[in-house]
Amino acid sequence: MSLSVLGDLNWLAVLVATLAYYGLGAIWYAESVFGRAWRRSLGWDLTPPENTGHRVYTIPLATCFGATLATAVLGVATGTDNVLEGLLLGLVVGVGIAFPVMFVSGVFDTTKPAPKTFVAVGAGFHVIGLSLVGAILGQWR
């Protein structure tokens, strides 16, 4: 595999999948969904921060783009070309990469008051989000 695979990507699908992943995060981490539990798992005060700036939006968007781009490259390399294959690809990336990374970084961080909740919320988001990404990319291949 080489960087020439970037020319084979459907960039509109990458953009839409990135925005869907990011949008899922906006819903997932909303206070009324998992946001409150996630913040408590970190030991954060439940009042919203006063001055978060643009980074609270741009950094997650950039990371969603990076994960979507990597999944798209894997999709081209594996010949993923329909929704079900894309969904399976997203599940493999989510369960095989995102979940273990979240698990290790969450469970062994003794500064978190509720590390299992942190892992469940974070890993759950990435597994579902990357499955959504894979399905979109597979459909638009």
What was the pLDDT predicted at 62?
97
Q: State which amino acid sits at residue 26.
A: A
pLDDT along the chain (141 residues), means of 10: 82 98 97 94 74 83 97 95 97 97 90 92 98 97 75
Place of tokens 């995060």: 25
What is the C-alpha to C-alpha distance for residues 33 and 26, in angstroms, rounded to an integer? 10
What was the pLDDT predicted at 6?
85
Tokens in use for 5? 């695979």
DSSP string, 94-131: IIIIIHHHHHHHHHT-TT-S-HHHHHHHHHHHHHHHHH
Distances (CA, A) of 42 to 6, 18, 61, 65, 122: 37, 26, 21, 25, 11
Report if pTM > 0.85: yes
What was the pLDDT predicted at 134?
98
